[in-house]
A and B are shown apart, each in its own frame.
Chain A
Amino acid sequence: MLRYILKRLLIMILTLWIIITLTFVLMTSIPGSPFTSDQTSNETVQQNLEKHYNLDKPKYMQYLLYLKSIVTLDFGPSIKQPNQTVNDLLGRGFPISFELGIVTVIVAVISGITLGVLAALRHNGIIDYLAMGIAVLGISIPNFILATLLIQKLAVDWEIFPVATWASPMHMVLPVLALATGPMAIIARLTRSTMLEVLTQDYIKMARAKGLAPWKIIIKHALRNALMPVITIMGTLLAGILTGTFVIEQIFAIPGMGKYFVESINHRDYPVIMGTTVFYSAFLIIMLFLVDIAYGFVDPRIKVTKKEGE
């Protein structure tokens, strides 16, 4: 197990290093350097930038100092908003985005698994077709289209939910719905297919032959095994939800990090783009790592094969 963790840790660090280096290389390769261009109107901003990115030093020193600043969690200043650092923006925006993301994950996982299990248990029944119908729609309709649809119907036409900003739990309903439907659909489909496969396994038959109650077989023997693949795709789903917040926050005018990020893209506020990309990548990569470790703990087979040195 320790070997397994170390291996994943090493890969995680390498991936992080690549994304940090990539941002640096890409940004410094922009013609007319983003940090010194005439986009910066303000004298103090210019000074802050030069100081943060050490523009007076040679390239390799710039790179090393950039690495150092990232490792110490200093993401640098903003061009467009004077006296604002990326850290300020993250401090304000990220908690809101995180809240939106976490609620979305919880909703998507619980509803997706429930839907998938019900569909598998009623294979080829009405519930199955209904659940898979919802799932196919959920996968097909992009979240930004679903979001506008929800606003149009539930907020504007029927006035059931408030729209825009982030004031009360009621404000969360529509953005979470728009964001969670896709991942929910993916989880539901995956749960259903693995559940169907697991249900044909000999150990399920064996459990039935023991005379166990059906609910016990499903919860203790089937679900546990059926959920393992769901854990493996959690990393991808988290990434999808995270990038989803960019558009959803924009559409619902939620003052989260995603909204700032999209604004920074539109304004070509390069330091903010860089800082946010690195921050979000690091966040996702660490999540991916944690998911891998969690998987190692849930599946007893991984522990041992790794301990025995593969």
Chain B
Amino acid sequence: MEKILEVQDLHVRFTTYGGTVQAVRGVDFHIHKGETLAIVGESGCGKSVTSNAIMRLIPNPPGKITKGKVLFKGQDLTKLTEKKMRSIRGVDISMIFQDPMTALNPTLTIGTQLVEGLKQHRKVSDSIAMKKALEMMQLVGIPNPEERMKQYPHQFSGGMRQRIVIAIALICEPELLIADEPTTALDVTIQAQILELFEKIQEVTGVSIILITHDLGVVAKIADRIAVMYAGKIIETGTKREIFYQPQHPYTQGLLNSVPRLDTKGKLQPINGTPPDLFSPPLGCPFTSRCPLAMEVCNKVYPDSTRLSDSHAVDCWLQDERAKKLLATMVTNKR
């Protein structure tokens, strides 16, 4: 399968008055054509920064991509001029933001906001642009599109607004869609509708989707593959099946245990503690202080990635042979 986007060793830093925040610290992942990749993690783990870095939307200053590549169809986006990058934003890669209540400009009509990207990039006539806009409104399921085009954002409900945001993102027929917490601000019933819309869109247009979320329920519904992020690093990746049924990293396991599920019994177990301060991230595994299976080695050295299958990889010292022996003795001791 063709890799449409490949991120290699991405580093992003923010310089603030309080010091330098290393928000993203060497992230690698890729996404295939027509696939949905979910990036999962707690708030502040760097997942949104990663998605903004792909689009080069990190405000500089204070933020900066200090290292790494973002290869979109072989072309390194970090090296492009701002002008060239602009011709990619909205055309090849589009983005959807978390809160549809604030993502639309309150003083412009929906129609204006829909067609402006199209007019910027495709130089089409007004009538063609309007026709395309109507088509998109229908695709995302907005009734009476012609009438609705003339209205302002505050005249729409949250779910409807998110549909419009999706329509805006798709109007230039991009190959990659980055959705940053697209359902978080919505009611549960609306969430389900929006997720169904994503599936429908992917069927119709074949767009690849990077879904940024902290919600494992969302992930379970529409993701093909999952990347788990913690403290600026991707600590485990795999297919949905691998992550949900064979999670290897204690953090991934913790995440799954902290969500109610129908197929498991027993109490929910929250992950105790808080993520580390990214002003001075630990040298070793950042999860050490919260990890129930932490070893002395963990906060000294960051573990290498261990490949468990073609699609499954994890950064954890427990994969080391010496750790496995330790685990075995623990199990026998318990008996």
Contact = CB atoms under 8 A, between A and B. Distances in A.
A42 B173 CA distance: 87
B117 A203 contact: no
Contact of B87 (A207, A211, A221): A211
Interface stretch (A22-30, A58-66, A134-142, A212-220): A212-220
Contact of A301 (B99, B117, B154): B154
Contacts of A298: 107
Given A304-B154, A304-B155, A208 B117 contact: no
B120 interface: yes
Interface string B89-101: 1110011011100
Contacts of B154: 300-301, 304
B120 A224 contact: no
Given A220-B108, A224-B107, A300-B152, A209 B102 contact: no
B155 A208 contact: no
Interface in A168-206: 201-203, 205-206
B107 A212 contact: no
A299 interface: yes
Given A202-B97, A206-B97, A211-B89, A216 B120 contact: yes
A209 B55 contact: yes
Interface residues of B, number: 30
A7 interface: no
Contacts of A201: 102
Nearest to B89: A211
A211 B103 contact: no
Contacts of A221: 105, 108
B200 interface: no
Contacts of B152: 300-301, 304
Contacts of B292: none
Nearest to A209: B95
Interface string A270-310: 00000000000000000000000000001111001000000
B130 to A, nearest CB: 17
A301 B97 contact: no
Given A203-B105, A216-B120, A225-B107, A210 B99 contact: no
Interface in B63-104: 86-91, 94-95, 97-99, 102-104
Interface string B167-178: 011000000000
B89 A206 contact: no
B326 interface: no
Interface string B32-62: 0000000000000000000000010100000
B97 A205 contact: yes
B270 interface: no
13 contacts: A202-B102, A205-B97, A206-B97, A210-B89, A210-B116, A211-B88, A212-B116, A216-B120, A220-B108, A299-B106, A301-B154, A304-B154, A304-B155
Given A206-B165, A209-B94, 7 more contacts: A203-B103, A209-B97, A210-B168, A212-B90, A225-B105, A299-B106, A300-B106
